[in-house]
């Protein structure tokens, strides 16, 4: 059995109740730009007919989950409505949609572009007792335009839960947003040149 461990919420998780969150400094410009769009949530609910595609639940327990953090992309293609508990577990890396299992959707022709996928549940920590286990054998139908986000989320899940898969080259490394680098000033360039000369001598 895998050792028990606290599960950590990824940065910008949609739901941080009862989870260990790693705090990171946020600039004022970032705080102004990172505002979740209500229109995105409404559009997502509309595309999925206000229904969780995994559990079939409708109503107040339905939440709009972001496939990768909303601060990276807040478009409808990066969202899936999920029941609140499986949404929280998704944000905790307890499960992920497996993009390699993509199959034609069972939805009727004319209902839009959809793919059907299987899910993967983590076997780390106390995941065996989580709600997602009730749906581990189900197929989830997701909009086709969401596939690139599913691929990225899958890589991040594997990196978190099974890093050996990435280290051994069986799964590609995830792509995180690049941090902005400070532009080199004339003084810093001068110091670099001086240091280079000293090392050369």
In terms of Cβ atoms closer than 10 Å to its own Cβ (0-12, 13-18, 19+), residue 150 is buried
**Distances from the Cα of 78 to the Cα of 51, 143, 153, angstroms:** 16, 10, 10
Q: What percent of the chain has pLDDT over 90?
A: 61
Tens-digit pLDDT profile for residues 132-184 = 999 999 999 999 999 999 999 999 999 999 999 999 999 999 998 765 444 44
Instruction: Specify the DSSP element, H or E, that contains 5.
Output: none
pTM of this structure? 0.72
Among 149, 48, 159, which residue's Cα sits nearest to residue 99? 149
CA distance 159 to 101: 19
CA distance 99 to 116: 9
Question: What pairing do the DSSP bridges indicate for beta strands 79-83 and 95-104?
Answer: unpaired
Tens-digit pLDDT profile for residues 105-120 = 877 654 569 999 999 9
Among 179, 97, 190, 186, which residue's Cα sits nearest to residue 142? 97
CA distance 76 to 73: 9
Average pLDDT, the chain: 78
């Amino acid at each position: 059995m895998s050792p028990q461990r606290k599960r950590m919420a990824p940065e910008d998780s949609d739901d941080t109740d009862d989870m260990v969150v790693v705090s990171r400094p946020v600039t004022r410009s970032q705080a102004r730009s990172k505002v979740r769009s209500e229109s995105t949530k409404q559009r997502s609910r509309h595309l999925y007919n206000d229904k969780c595609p995994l559990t079939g639940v409708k109503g107040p327990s339905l939440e709009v989950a972001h496939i990768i953090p909303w601060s990276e992309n807040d478009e409808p293609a990066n969202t899936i409505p999920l029941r609140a508990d499986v949404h929280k577990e998704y944000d905790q890396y307890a499960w992920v949609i497996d993009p390699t299992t993509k199959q034609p959707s069972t939805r009727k022709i004319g209902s839009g572009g959809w793919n059907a996928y299987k899910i993967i549940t983590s076997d780390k920590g106390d995941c065996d007792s989580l709600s997602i286990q009730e749906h581990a054998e189900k197929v989830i139908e997701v909009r086709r335009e969401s596939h690139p986000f599913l691929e990225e989320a899958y890589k991040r899940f594997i990196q978190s839960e099974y890093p050996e898969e990435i280290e051994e080259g069986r799964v590609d490394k995830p792509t995180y947003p690049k941090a902005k680098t400070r532009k080199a000033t004339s003084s810093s360039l001068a110091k670099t040149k001086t240091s280079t000369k000293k090392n050369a001598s």
